[in-house]
Amino acid sequence: MEKFSEIVYKRPDMAALKKAMKQQLELLKKAKTYEEARAAYLASQEITAHAETSYVVASVRNTLDTTDKFYDGEMQFFNRALAMLMPISKAFIDAMLKTPFRAEFEAEFGKQLFTLAEMAQKSQSKKIIPELIAQGTTENNYKKTAAACKTTFRGEECNFYGLLKHMESPDREERKEAYLAWAKLYEDASEQLDKQFDKLIKLRVRMAKKLGLPGGYTELAYLDRHRADYGPKEVEQFRAQVKAVIVPAVAKLREEQAKRLGVEKLKYYDETCIFPDGNADPVGGEAELVAVAQRMYREISPETGEFFDFLCEYGLFDLATRPGKHLGGYCTYLADYKAPFIFSNFNGTAADVNVLTHEAGHAFAGYTAMRSQPLMDYMSSTSEVNEIHSMTMEHFAYPYTKDFFGEANVAKAKYAHLSGALSTIPYLVSVDEFQHRVYAKPEMTAKERRAIWHEIEQIYMPWRDYDGVPFLEEGGFWMQKQHIFLYPFYYVDYALAQVCAFEFYGRMKKDHSDAWKSYLALCRAGGSKGYFELLQLAGLSNPFVEGSVEKAVRHVIEELNV
């Protein structure tokens, strides 16, 4: 392949694509033998992969330079064009579900193919195309609103990312001021954000209604997230385990943190400051950290070494912060090239190292699955599995903490990571419960939604003290979470995955090579099996089963000494 920057982008010819898909659809329907049906199915996968690769190239380039009008226009094109593909993709799914060769397909590719098709059959319909297009437009408007949020900090205009470093400052006054500016930033935008969220809720609820789903949008979101093995009830049981096991441990961590910082009562602006003399920063910028990562991946295993060298050779990451670049970080995949791509905005904090472990963990899993799995649909799994890949890689990187942060910072960096991973879980499940409650009562006003958020916060984060800031006391904190706007119901996947990653971490302590073997097997399996089956394949506990959260995290709580 060529380097990412040299890939020539061409807008897919949608008419030709539809025609080609229709041709394969006819061949699939008319197939007299499994070989014929199989060939039509695989050809359709290939057609989809080409179109998706073009989409990903345009989307990555759009985020690399949001001022580039060309790719901005391409994204608008795709928003509509992809929604218009729904009827043909739906017809394909119907044909697959009716194929007389199901047993042969299952024998070769497993049952997952049909599990996915059955879910798609319930969640896809051309009836909802107008809402899908409107949802895409509203989401884009939200992104623009969020990106335009600005505030002044100590006389300087800055956005959310500009505030981050100050929000972690060891100087209490500085971080308090930074957090106030941060709260003001969201308060100022709240009217607009509330309106956009209202609109999204209405559209989503309407889609579920049109599809005739009795569970409302929550059911549709579970289908869209390919949750075939569990429903809201199981997720509720998981949250209850978090409340029983993790919340008390984090409450103790917060008490210790207050003592360490020498403050009488920990305020919300203290939570991100782990140590009185400041958090550990990495040893250098992009060049230094990438060099450390390259050495690390070469040492971890031959597979990871080959993977990271591939990323470097083909320019498959863009890590520096530049004006005009989209905020945040992500990992995506170019199916045609069997290549992942990592996007980030380095800022000189521990988050930079996290990109090279977490996002690279996703990238490694994708790179591996793309070389092990025969189907486009199996290249990646659901996010509660994909996040196990990334979060577990963060733990596999522990022996290299000294290289990323310097010898003197090892204890601090490791404590910050491990305690941070545990302390985030109560927040993750808060966001999850919030969304369940919002979509259960979609007619709620913005004010009522805030009250609900505040109520949930007190259950899972009883230590949270907003220091009398009215906007936050009323429940305005939820607004900062872009997943609630853009990736509904995603958030609990991080919590489920972190619990599994902790279990992996426990296994690393006992038998490193056995843990690695299971991890590699999980990455190779991609999305070829269902969630529970993948957990089994990796020898992981099912986090919904009572007692499994306790079992997975006890050693972490002990290591953190609380």
- Residues in contact with Zn ion by the rule CB under 5 A: 387, 390
Smallest distance from Zn ion to CB 428, Å: 12
Q: Order across the sheet with 339-343: list the strands.
A: 317-318, 339-343, 330-334
Smallest distance from Zn ion to CB 554, Å: 24
Smallest distance from Zn ion to CB 424, Å: 12
Q: Which is nearer to Zn ion, 196 or 386 (CB)?
A: 386
Q: Which is nearer to Zn ion, 112 or 390 (CB)?
A: 390
Q: Which is nearer to Zn ion, 318 or 387 (CB)?
A: 387
Query: CA 486, 488, 490 angle in degrees (round to 5)?
Result: 105
Is 270:258 a contact under the CB 8 Å cutoff? Answer: yes
**CA–CA separation, 91 and 94 (whole Å):** 5
Tracing tokens 């008390």 back to the chain, one arrives at: 248
Q: Which is nearer to Zn ion, 384 or 503 (CB)?
A: 384
Smallest distance from Zn ion to CB 532, Å: 21
Residue whose C-alpha is closest to residue 353's, from 407, 300, 292: 292
DSSP 22-89: HHHHHHHHH-SSHHHHHHHHHHHHHHHHHHHHHHHHHHHHHHH-TT-HHHHHHHHHHHHHHHHTHHHH
Smallest distance from Zn ion to CB 297, Å: 17
Smallest distance from Zn ion to CB 358, Å: 6
**CA–CA separation, 69 and 114 (whole Å):** 40
**CA–CA separation, 86 and 97 (whole Å):** 16
Smallest distance from Zn ion to CB 389, Å: 8
Smallest distance from Zn ion to CB 391, Å: 7
Q: Which is nearer to Zn ion, 330 or 415 (CB)?
A: 330
Smallest distance from Zn ion to CB 227, Å: 17
SS3 state of residue 203: helix
C-alpha 289, offset from chain centre? 23
Smallest distance from Zn ion to CB 468, Å: 35
Q: Which is nearer to Zn ion, 56 or 245 (CB)?
A: 56
**CA–CA separation, 307 and 249 (whole Å):** 37
Q: Which is nearer to Zn ion, 12 or 527 (CB)?
A: 527
Q: How many residues does the structure list for the chain?
A: 562
Smallest distance from Zn ion to CB 248, Å: 27
Q: Which is nearer to Zn ion, 44 or 380 (CB)?
A: 380
Q: Give the residue at shortest CB distance from Zn ion.
A: 390
Token digits of residue 113 = 């193919």
Smallest distance from Zn ion to CB 558, Å: 26
Is 407:172 a contact under the CB 8 Å cutoff? Answer: no
**CA–CA separation, 141 and 164 (whole Å):** 24
**CA–CA separation, 398 and 502 (whole Å):** 13
Q: Which is nearer to Zn ion, 151 or 390 (CB)?
A: 390
Residue whose C-alpha is closest to residue 528's, from 334, 385, 364: 385
CA atoms in the 13 A half-sphere facing the CB of 501 = 28
**CA–CA separation, 538 and 517 (whole Å):** 9
**CA–CA separation, 466 and 200 (whole Å):** 28
Q: Which is nearer to Zn ion, 138 or 498 (CB)?
A: 498
Q: Which is nearer to Zn ion, 223 or 331 (CB)?
A: 331
**CA–CA separation, 339 and 50 (whole Å):** 13
Token digits of residue 421 = 């991973």
**CA–CA separation, 353 and 358 (whole Å):** 8
Whole-angstrom distance between the N-terminal and C-terminal Cα of the chain? Answer: 51
Q: How many CB atoms lie within 10 A of CB 537?
A: 15
Q: Which is nearer to Zn ion, 438 or 540 (CB)?
A: 540
